[in-house]
Protein backbone atom coordinates (compact mmCIF):
# COMPACT_ATOMS: atom_id res chain seq x y z
CA UNK A 1 0.00 0.00 0.00
CA UNK A 2 1.00 3.61 -0.56
CA UNK A 3 1.01 5.73 2.61
CA UNK A 4 -0.21 9.34 2.48
CA UNK A 5 -0.73 11.99 5.13
CA UNK A 6 -4.32 12.72 6.20
CA UNK A 7 -4.08 16.29 4.88
CA UNK A 8 -3.27 14.98 1.40
CA UNK A 9 -5.53 11.95 1.47
CA UNK A 10 -7.83 11.56 -1.52
CA UNK A 11 -11.47 11.61 -0.31
CA UNK A 12 -12.29 8.59 -2.48
CA UNK A 13 -9.86 6.31 -0.63
CA UNK A 14 -10.91 3.80 2.03
CA UNK A 15 -9.06 2.45 5.02
CA UNK A 16 -8.06 -1.21 4.81
CA UNK A 17 -10.88 -3.23 6.43
CA UNK A 18 -10.60 -4.93 9.80
CA UNK A 19 -9.86 -8.61 9.30
CA UNK A 20 -12.25 -11.05 10.95
CA UNK A 21 -10.48 -13.30 13.47
CA UNK A 22 -9.84 -16.82 12.15
CA UNK A 23 -11.25 -18.49 15.26
CA UNK A 24 -14.63 -16.79 14.83
CA UNK A 25 -15.36 -18.58 11.57
CA UNK A 26 -14.65 -22.32 11.27
CA UNK A 27 -16.53 -22.30 7.94
CA UNK A 28 -16.48 -20.27 4.73
CA UNK A 29 -18.97 -17.40 5.06
CA UNK A 30 -20.29 -18.04 1.54
CA UNK A 31 -20.41 -21.79 0.87
CA UNK A 32 -20.15 -22.94 4.51
CA UNK A 33 -17.34 -25.38 3.72
CA UNK A 34 -15.44 -26.27 6.87
CA UNK A 35 -11.82 -25.22 6.99
CA UNK A 36 -9.17 -27.89 7.48
CA UNK A 37 -5.63 -28.68 6.38
CA UNK A 38 -6.64 -28.93 2.69
CA UNK A 39 -9.23 -26.14 2.73
CA UNK A 40 -7.54 -23.07 4.14
CA UNK A 41 -8.89 -19.69 5.15
CA UNK A 42 -8.49 -16.65 2.91
CA UNK A 43 -9.32 -13.08 3.89
CA UNK A 44 -10.90 -10.86 1.25
CA UNK A 45 -8.67 -7.79 1.11
CA UNK A 46 -11.62 -5.48 0.54
CA UNK A 47 -14.26 -6.61 3.06
CA UNK A 48 -12.04 -8.55 5.50
CA UNK A 49 -14.36 -11.56 5.68
CA UNK A 50 -13.09 -15.16 5.63
CA UNK A 51 -13.67 -17.45 2.65
CA UNK A 52 -12.38 -20.73 1.27
CA UNK A 53 -10.01 -20.57 -1.66
CA UNK A 54 -12.76 -21.22 -4.21
CA UNK A 55 -14.97 -18.40 -2.93
CA UNK A 56 -12.09 -15.93 -2.67
CA UNK A 57 -10.33 -16.57 -5.96
CA UNK A 58 -10.54 -13.20 -7.69
CA UNK A 59 -7.41 -11.10 -8.19
CA UNK A 60 -8.25 -7.46 -8.85
CA UNK A 61 -6.79 -4.00 -8.48
CA UNK A 62 -7.96 -2.04 -5.44
CA UNK A 63 -6.94 1.57 -6.12
CA UNK A 64 -9.46 2.76 -3.56
CA UNK A 65 -7.47 1.02 -0.82
CA UNK A 66 -4.14 2.22 -2.30
CA UNK A 67 -2.90 -1.25 -3.27
CA UNK A 68 -0.44 -1.02 -6.14
CA UNK A 69 -0.72 -4.70 -7.15
CA UNK A 70 -3.72 -7.01 -7.69
CA UNK A 71 -5.00 -8.61 -4.48
CA UNK A 72 -7.32 -11.47 -3.59
CA UNK A 73 -11.00 -10.67 -3.02
CA UNK A 74 -14.35 -12.45 -2.81
CA UNK A 75 -16.82 -12.55 -5.71
CA UNK A 76 -19.06 -9.77 -4.38
CA UNK A 77 -16.12 -7.45 -3.80
CA UNK A 78 -14.69 -8.26 -7.24
CA UNK A 79 -17.73 -6.64 -8.90
CA UNK A 80 -17.46 -3.57 -6.65
CA UNK A 81 -13.72 -3.36 -7.31
CA UNK A 82 -14.26 -3.40 -11.09
CA UNK A 83 -16.54 -0.36 -10.85
CA UNK A 84 -14.07 1.41 -8.57
CA UNK A 85 -11.19 0.63 -10.92
CA UNK A 86 -13.18 2.14 -13.79
CA UNK A 87 -13.79 5.28 -11.72
CA UNK A 88 -10.11 5.71 -10.81
CA UNK A 89 -8.90 4.86 -14.31
CA UNK A 90 -11.44 6.81 -16.34
CA UNK A 91 -13.84 9.11 -14.51
CA UNK A 92 -11.30 10.60 -12.10
CA UNK A 93 -9.17 11.67 -15.06
CA UNK A 94 -12.23 13.30 -16.64
CA UNK A 95 -12.88 15.28 -13.46
CA UNK A 96 -9.27 16.42 -13.20
CA UNK A 97 -9.16 17.44 -16.88
CA UNK A 98 -12.22 19.60 -16.27
CA UNK A 99 -15.02 20.98 -18.44
CA UNK A 100 -16.59 24.34 -19.19
CA UNK A 101 -19.74 25.51 -17.41
CA UNK A 102 -21.62 28.74 -16.88
CA UNK A 103 -21.55 29.18 -13.10
CA UNK A 104 -23.46 32.46 -12.75
CA UNK A 105 -26.36 32.53 -15.20
CA UNK A 106 -26.85 36.27 -14.65
CA UNK A 107 -23.47 36.84 -16.30
CA UNK A 108 -22.66 34.14 -18.88
CA UNK A 109 -18.96 33.77 -18.18
CA UNK A 110 -17.44 30.36 -18.78
CA UNK A 111 -15.56 28.65 -16.01
CA UNK A 112 -13.31 25.65 -16.37
CA UNK A 113 -14.52 23.43 -13.52
CA UNK A 114 -12.09 20.73 -12.52
CA UNK A 115 -11.00 18.56 -9.64
CA UNK A 116 -7.72 19.59 -8.03
CA UNK A 117 -5.21 17.13 -9.44
CA UNK A 118 -2.92 16.37 -6.51
CA UNK A 119 -5.22 15.34 -3.66
CA UNK A 120 -8.58 15.44 -5.47
CA UNK A 121 -10.06 17.22 -2.45
CA UNK A 122 -11.38 20.42 -4.07
CA UNK A 123 -13.39 21.56 -7.07
CA UNK A 124 -11.66 24.49 -8.73
CA UNK A 125 -13.27 27.18 -10.89
CA UNK A 126 -11.05 28.96 -13.40
CA UNK A 127 -12.26 31.91 -15.46
CA UNK A 128 -10.19 33.71 -18.08
CA UNK A 129 -11.66 37.03 -16.92
CA UNK A 130 -10.45 37.03 -13.30
CA UNK A 131 -11.26 40.73 -12.90
CA UNK A 132 -14.96 40.06 -13.38
CA UNK A 133 -15.49 36.62 -11.88
CA UNK A 134 -13.94 34.61 -9.07
CA UNK A 135 -15.43 31.57 -7.39
CA UNK A 136 -13.96 29.98 -4.29
CA UNK A 137 -13.05 26.26 -4.45
CA UNK A 138 -15.60 23.76 -3.15
CA UNK A 139 -14.28 21.09 -0.78
CA UNK A 140 -15.67 17.72 -1.86
CA UNK A 141 -16.20 16.45 1.67
CA UNK A 142 -18.37 19.51 2.38
CA UNK A 143 -20.86 18.64 -0.38
CA UNK A 144 -24.19 17.53 1.08
CA UNK A 145 -26.24 17.04 -2.09
CA UNK A 146 -25.97 17.00 -5.87
CA UNK A 147 -28.97 17.39 -8.16
CA UNK A 148 -28.99 17.13 -11.93
CA UNK A 149 -31.02 19.78 -13.75
CA UNK A 150 -33.15 18.70 -16.71
CA UNK A 151 -33.31 20.84 -19.83
CA UNK A 152 -36.45 22.87 -20.47
CA UNK A 153 -37.88 20.33 -22.93
CA UNK A 154 -36.80 17.37 -20.75
CA UNK A 155 -34.63 16.10 -23.60
CA UNK A 156 -31.53 15.77 -21.46
CA UNK A 157 -29.42 17.27 -18.71
CA UNK A 158 -28.67 20.98 -18.64
CA UNK A 159 -26.63 21.27 -15.45
CA UNK A 160 -25.93 20.37 -11.85
CA UNK A 161 -26.74 21.97 -8.49
CA UNK A 162 -24.26 21.33 -5.70
CA UNK A 163 -25.10 22.22 -2.11
CA UNK A 164 -22.22 22.38 0.35
CA UNK A 165 -21.23 23.72 3.74
CA UNK A 166 -18.97 26.75 3.91
CA UNK A 167 -18.04 28.07 7.37
CA UNK A 168 -21.22 26.68 8.96
CA UNK A 169 -23.36 28.19 6.20
CA UNK A 170 -25.15 26.26 3.46
CA UNK A 171 -24.01 27.40 0.03
CA UNK A 172 -25.06 26.47 -3.48
CA UNK A 173 -23.35 26.50 -6.85
CA UNK A 174 -25.14 25.91 -10.14
CA UNK A 175 -23.21 24.54 -13.08
CA UNK A 176 -24.97 25.08 -16.42
CA UNK A 177 -23.80 23.12 -19.45
CA UNK A 178 -22.41 25.41 -22.14
CA UNK A 179 -24.61 25.39 -25.27
CA UNK A 180 -21.74 25.61 -27.74
CA UNK A 181 -19.39 24.68 -29.27
CA UNK A 182 -20.56 21.06 -29.53
CA UNK A 183 -17.17 19.77 -28.36
CA UNK A 184 -17.39 21.76 -25.10
CA UNK A 185 -21.00 20.72 -24.55
CA UNK A 186 -20.10 17.04 -24.96
CA UNK A 187 -17.16 17.49 -22.59
CA UNK A 188 -19.45 19.11 -20.00
CA UNK A 189 -21.98 16.27 -20.15
CA UNK A 190 -19.23 13.66 -19.81
CA UNK A 191 -17.87 15.56 -16.80
CA UNK A 192 -21.32 15.57 -15.16
CA UNK A 193 -21.53 11.78 -15.49
CA UNK A 194 -18.13 11.46 -13.81
CA UNK A 195 -19.18 13.90 -11.09
CA UNK A 196 -22.31 11.86 -10.38
CA UNK A 197 -20.19 8.78 -9.84
CA UNK A 198 -17.80 10.73 -7.62
CA UNK A 199 -20.62 12.05 -5.41
CA UNK A 200 -22.10 8.57 -5.09
CA UNK A 201 -18.73 7.23 -4.01
CA UNK A 202 -18.29 10.01 -1.45
CA UNK A 203 -21.69 9.30 0.10
CA UNK A 204 -20.85 5.59 0.32
CA UNK A 205 -17.86 6.22 2.60
The model's pLDDT over 56-73, given as tens digits with 9 standing for 90+, comes to: 999 999 999 999 999 999
Among residues 90, 108, 128, the one where a domain terminates is 90
Per the structure, the count of domains in the chain is 2
Residues 6+ apart with CB under 8 A from 32: none
| Predicted model pTM | 0.83
The answer on pLDDT for 120 being more than 50 is: yes
Among residues 38, 70, 90, the one where a domain terminates is 90
Residue 122 CA: distances (Å) to CA of 8, 165, 166: 11, 13, 13
Residues 151 and 176 in one domain: yes
Residue 35 in any domain: the answer is yes
- Provide, rounded to the nearest whole percent, the portion of the chain with pLDDT above 70: 92
Residues 60 and 111 in one domain: no
CATH number at residue 196: 2.30.29.160
**Which domain covers residue 24, as residue numbers?**
11-90
Residue 6 in any domain: the answer is no
| Dihedral of the alpha carbons of 169, 170, 171, 174, in degrees to the nearest 10 | 180
Confidence of residue 38 (pLDDT cuts 50, 70, 90): confident
Residues 76 and 168 in one domain: no
Among 34-48, 91-105, 144-158, the minimum mean pLDDT is found in 144-158
Residues 85 and 115 in one domain: no
Residue 2 in any domain: the answer is no
Residues 61 and 120 in one domain: no
Residues 196 and 132 in one domain: yes
Neighbours of 188 (CB within 10 A): 24
Amino acid sequence: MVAVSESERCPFLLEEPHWVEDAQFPNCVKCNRRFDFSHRRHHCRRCGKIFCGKCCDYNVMLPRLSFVDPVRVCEECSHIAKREEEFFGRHLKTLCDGAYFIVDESEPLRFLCKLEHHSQRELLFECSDQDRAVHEPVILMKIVSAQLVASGDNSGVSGLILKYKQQDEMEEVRLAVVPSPAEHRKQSLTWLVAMQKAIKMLFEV
